[in-house]
């Protein structure tokens, strides 16, 4: 079964990666899905750690 | 997924209308949704919590006063708020430039290079804001993968979820983020 997330997240072994890429070459739907999600994965991979540890904002003075 | 985005879009437009009518609950809701992203951005852009707290209040005061000027065709409320935060942060940084007793030591804090750093921060915090809007079960998996560096198999073991569920939530979260970022583009 084709598994775009495992491929995108780099969790496939060499043989599985090769098989996945062969499947992508003939399956345009699968290829489109991977190409759509790839930039999101890249952006998430580049997020600095502090973005995941966002500080608690202060109370909003306007609404009390 | 399209339906989820359309539904979020409707909710945003409704919130924007209430904000334009200056309903206090709308401001509170806006703050609940996006206050964490704008504050995170401000703390990083300004480098100190106290200044960020002041500017955070200014950002939401401005949103409250200018709510009727928000145009949903030009992007989501998160992007709008972050743009206000960006402008106020740059104002603050410019004001901070010290009197040039020794011109060589004066740092031009708001020159073009600093603005591009601010813009990079803005993009990071926009992603943080979008992550916060995902269903918790999806954002939690993305956190485990991209913050803790766990593989999907490790996530399944740590959470007790079947691996298939981890994968389907992961792909659903990624698709939702993609849709949200497209709407904002």
Output the pLDDT for position A47. 96
> Among candidates B180, B163, B135, B160, which has minimal Cα distance to A6?
B163
| Yes or no, beta carbons of A49 and B37 under 8 Å apart | no
- Nearest residue on chain A to B148, alpha-carbon basis: A49
Note the pTM of the prediction, 2 decimals.
0.86
Residues of chain B with CATH 1.10.10.10: 136-185
Q: Flag residues of chain B having pLDDT under 70.
A: 1-5, 97-113, 183-185
Residues of chain B with CATH 1.10.1740.10: 2-133
- Choose among A6, A55, A62: nearest Cβ to B39: A55
Is the pLDDT assigned to residue A30 strictly greater than 90?
yes
ipTM for the complex shown: 0.91
The owner of tokens 């999600």 is A37
> Among candidates B123, B77, B34, B158, which has minimal Cα distance to A42?
B123
CA distance B150 to chain A (A): 10
**CB atoms closer than 10 angstroms to residue B154:** 15
Three-state helix/strand/coil letters over chain B: CHHHHHHHHHHHHHHHHHHHCCCHHHHHHHHHHHHHHHHHHHHHHHCCHHHHHHHHHHHHHHHHHCHHHCCHHHCCHHHHHHHHHHHHHHHHHHHHCCCCCCHHHCCCCCCHHHHHHHHHHHHHHHHHHHHHCCCHHHHHHHHHHHCCCCCHHHHHHHHCCCHHHHHHHHHHHHHHHHHHHHHHC
Output the pLDDT for position B108. 46
Fold of B136-185: Arc Repressor Mutant, subunit A (1.10.10)
| Yes or no, beta carbons of B56 and A58 under 8 Å apart | yes
Residues of A in contact with B143 (CB under 8 A): 52
Residues of B in contact with A54 (CB under 8 A): 36-37, 39-40, 128
| Yes or no, beta carbons of B151 and A9 under 8 Å apart | yes
Residues of A in contact with B124 (CB under 8 A): 47-48, 51
pLDDT digits (tens, 9 = 90+) for A5-24: 999 999 999 999 999 999 99
Residues of B in contact with A34 (CB under 8 A): none
Q: Which CATH number fits domain B2-133: 3.40.50.20, 1.10.1740.10, 3.30.390.10, 3.40.50.2300?
A: 1.10.1740.10
CA distance B11 to chain A (A): 21
Output the pLDDT for position B73. 84
Say how far apart CA B153 and CA B166 lie, in whole Å.
8
| Yes or no, beta carbons of B56 and A39 under 8 Å apart | no
pLDDT digits (tens, 9 = 90+) for B104-146: 444 445 455 577 888 999 999 999 999 999 999 999 999 999 9
């Amino acid at each position: 079964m084709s598994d775009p997330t495992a491929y995108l997240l780099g969790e496939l072994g060499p043989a599985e990666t090769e098989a996945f890429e062969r499947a992508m070459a003939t399956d345009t739907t699968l290829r489109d899905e991977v190409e759509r999600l790839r930039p999101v994965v890249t952006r998430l991979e580049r997020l600095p750690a502090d973005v995941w540890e966002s500080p608690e904002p202060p109370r909003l003075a306007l609404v009390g | 997924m399209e339906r989820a985005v359309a539904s979020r879009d409707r909710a945003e437009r409704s919130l924007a209308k209430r904000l334009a009518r200056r309903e206090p609950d709308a401001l509170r809701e806006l703050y609940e949704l996006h206050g964490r992203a704008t504050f995170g951005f401000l703390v990083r852009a300004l480098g100190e919590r106290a200044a960020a707290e002041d500017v955070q209040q200014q950002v939401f005061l401005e949103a409250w006063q200018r709510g009727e000027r928000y145009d949903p065709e030009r992007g989501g409320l998160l992007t709008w708020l972050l743009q206000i935060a960006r402008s106020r942060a740059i104002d603050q940084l410019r004001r901070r430039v010290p009197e040039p007793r020794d011109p060589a030591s004066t740092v031009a804090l708001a020159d073009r290079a600093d603005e591009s750093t601010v813009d990079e921060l803005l993009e990071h915090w926009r992603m943080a804001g979008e992550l916060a809007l995902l269903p918790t079960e999806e954002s939690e998996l993305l956190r485990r993968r991209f913050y803790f560096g766990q593989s999907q198999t490790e996530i399944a073991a740590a959470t007790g979820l079947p691996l298939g569920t981890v994968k389907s939530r992961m792909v659903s979260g990624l698709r939702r983020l993609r849709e949200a970022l497209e709407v904002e583009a």
